[in-house]
Structure 1
Amino acid sequence: MFTLGLLVILGNISFLFGQSNEKRLLLNDQDVIHQELQTLRNRMTQLENENSLMKKQLQNTQGATAYTIWGRKSCPTVNGTSTMYSGLVAGKHYNEQGSGVNTLCLPHDPEPAPSDFPSKLHGGLYARIWGSEYQFNFRNVAINDDVPCAVCQVNQDSTCLMMPAKTKCPVGWHRQYSGVLIGAWSGEYSSEYICMDENPEFFEGTRSHDDNGRTLYPVRARCGSLPCPPYTDYQYISCVVCSL
């Protein structure tokens, strides 16, 4: 019974590895049996290695997320973070009603739109995008400095969150950076709130310019429907970007 079972197993091994069934296997040939078993072990090891590699690739794919750091030229080297690209902060002009409300990080190496995109637009109407300037003095930056940004990839985490009015992340989350909440002046047309890094940078050679565009102002709390306490009237609002 044992001999018959072994014959079946070895026959299946030969079939799996593409060996010819025309070649009779001698059951009393220990060298042949050892060779077949070693081949099987090697194949199993190969499959285990391939499975482990696929798991790592899947984890890397599932565990990656991206966010934008505002006011910096590169990303913080924390929590497996790398810089995807650096750029300049851009958005709608502070005095325009239309165009986009969201703020963008435009790369330094733009590529053109499709060559067949129409050069004459209906009514000559189009949206516009502008560069950005600080409208305050703080640490390394001054009024009218042009604002850098960078898009960051976090390889170890799968989600990112900007928390206003906080400088620390919830338990279990990783802090990417913290800073000050920034928005448009209350007398301008609205734009989104963004989190500027607490140690902002600027583009050298831009301090003599005053082109406005997407202007950036620090955000202050106003009491009323916003309860005070815990908030304080006219306090600046902090922010932190966290990943998990």
Structure 2
Amino acid sequence: MVGQAHTHAQLLAQLEERIGGLRSAGRQFDQGDPVGARQIATQVRELVHHSRTSTALINRLGLDRQLTWVDTAGVTHPKTVTSSACLTLMKIGGGPNDRGEYIPKLDLYPPVPIRTRDGGRIDRGSRIPFDHWWTNPVVKDPDGADYSRKQLVLALDPAGDIDDAEYKAAYRAVASSRWLAPAVVAGRAAGPATLRANPLLASVRQIGYEVLQTVSQQRDVIDATRGPALVTLAGAASARPSITDLVPDGPVPLSG
């Protein structure tokens, strides 16, 4: 496999491309196109997901231990048995058959305390270490299963690496949830009402917002990394099997 050499300046240019892609996909989602959430998942995965088969852009830049990450969610309550989607708000409609719609919080949140994984409290919108941000439980489905930002992003990303064991595990976990499965299994075939009643897409939109805020607030940290570093990257793999090959045999049940 042929390697490609990238200067630090070129990697910073890639970072700006990813940030621009996040902004564009966010606008697309906000204008009513759910495909924007999938594009956000791809941009976030390329920025932060580091595995045996891929190197995250923040790692290539040496930022993986430098940046802290904006948290607008906190963690799900460990003793609560009801479902919760900490990255979103519920918009209630006026019709008798309207089940409501999950929407991203964006900046519509007060700086009130949120729960941390260690049981403490911080103001909503504070920054936390990357490992906490990426792996904290932020969604709990009606069956009591918790899901992290990492699982939500990897499961929704249509361009993920099929050879990545973490990617496969995330997809299978989310596809097994009666609540979240329609967004990843049915994809575009799911009706608008089904997608609106599902917190996955809005949650990933909010994750994109958090990444943009993280970068915006720490431009000084990013600029301080500028230097003569040269990074060797492996070439991209060729065609891979479809992620739908990972879905268990038979349809995923969507009701109890």
User: Please, what TM-score do these two structures have when normalized by structure 2?
Assistant: 0.25
More strand by percentage: 1
Q: Give the number of the structure with larger relative contact order, counting CA–CA contacts within 8 Å between residues 6 or more apart.
A: 2
- Structure with higher Rg: it is 1
More helix by percentage: 2
